[in-house]
A and B are shown apart, each in its own frame.
Chain A
Amino acid sequence: MTRLSILRVMAKTLIPFILLFALYVQFHGDYGPGGGFQAGVIFAAGFVLYALIFGLSAVRRVAPPRVLEVLLAIGVLIFAGTGVVTMLLGGAFLEYGAFTPEHPEHGQHWGLLIIEFGVGVTVAAVMITVFATFAGRGRA
């Protein structure tokens, strides 16, 4: 942990906004630029900033490696599982219209929200994991 109080205070001020912006990019991706991938990276950037200022062990308390390992698989499962569900509902794989057969475009919207969430979870978990693994290696 760095002793520079300006960095610490600024990081603490910025991180909530970074995470909030990531959520905005995640769930507003259908209307504006962005989506799960960008949101996941921005979300991870918040954690990276936290690690740079407060040390890796602080991040490990917030996001334990075991939880991240589960999350990076869960994101892919959400995405692929959506495809399986649409198949069970009688559509093709990833044919989100099957969610609401009378209004396929609504189902499409729902499907996009869900799969983008899956992408975001996987990307954020992978980015934090990769950074934590790299950074944790040197001084171990």
Chain B
Amino acid sequence: MTPSIVSLEVELVTIMILTLLAGTAIAVVRMRGLLPAVMLMGIYSFLGASWMLLLDAPDVAFTEAAVGAGISTVLVLATLALTTSRAKAQVRSPILPLTVVIITGAVLAYGTTDMPAFGDPTSPANTYPDPSYVERADHDIHVPNVVTAVLGSYRGYDTLGETVVIFTAGIGVLVLLRGSRSRPAADGEGDETGEDA
């Protein structure tokens, strides 16, 4: 497989997905109702996942689709049920934020000119971590999915740390939110999700 030569079809689909991504992002920003905005964020994540699939990263695409488009959307919806579903009207002039955003965007776009070309075999990402991991993984670990081998074994410490981060997040939510809930819950377990709105 020669990653630098991408077929025309893939190129076209990439352009379509990126156009849709930009369109979704603009729609989210311009939207006043938060409920449709959350839905569009889910679509945004899903488009992102599709794009990652085109970049031959199915594991990342999988995570993005499950977490970004799935669970995050539901969690934000649950938050909206607790707060409000309409954004407050803009009161300040948008000139200053717009300037900041344009300058930041221009700097970032300028920064991309230093990036190596997509799939460039001499780029640091393709040379610095020993590329032989991909070849060695099958012999060392007998696991066809190199991503699993790298995450679980070669970089097992990292993954353990990530698991602890998720664990900490769960404990944090429990400590912050359940503490205040335990008293009202004492007088009856008659709680409903209220998601049918």
User: Residues on A close to B: CB < 8 A?
Assistant: 1-2, 4, 25, 29-35, 37-38, 41-42, 44-45, 48, 51-52, 55-57, 60, 65, 69, 72-73, 75-76, 79-80, 83, 93-94, 96, 104-106, 108-109, 111-112, 115-116, 118-119, 122-123, 125-127, 129-131, 133-140
Contact in complex: A80, B160 (CB < 8 Å): yes
Majority SS of interface residues in chain B? helix
Instruction: Out of B149, B160, B166, name the residue touching A83 (CB < 8 Å).
Output: B160
Nearest CB of B to A24, in Å = 12
- Chain A residues with Cβ below 8 Å from B195 are 51-52, 135
Are A126 and B191 neighbours in the complex by a CB distance under 8 Å?
no
In the assembled complex, 20 residue pairs joining A and B whose CB atoms fall closer than 8 Å, in A order, are A4-B196, A25-B62, A33-B59, A35-B151, A41-B70, A44-B71, A56-B193, A57-B191, A72-B167, A79-B160, A83-B156, A109-B141, A119-B163, A126-B167, A131-B74, A131-B78, A133-B174, A133-B178, A135-B78, A140-B184
Given contact pairs A29-B145, A112-B143, A140-B191, enumerate 13 new A-B contacts (beta carbons under 8 Å).
A31-B144, A33-B145, A35-B152, A65-B178, A76-B163, A79-B159, A83-B156, A108-B149, A123-B166, A126-B167, A126-B169, A130-B173, A138-B81
Q: Is the CB of A137 within 8 A of B181?
A: yes
In the bound assembly, the distance between CA atoms of A134 and B193 in angstroms comes to 9
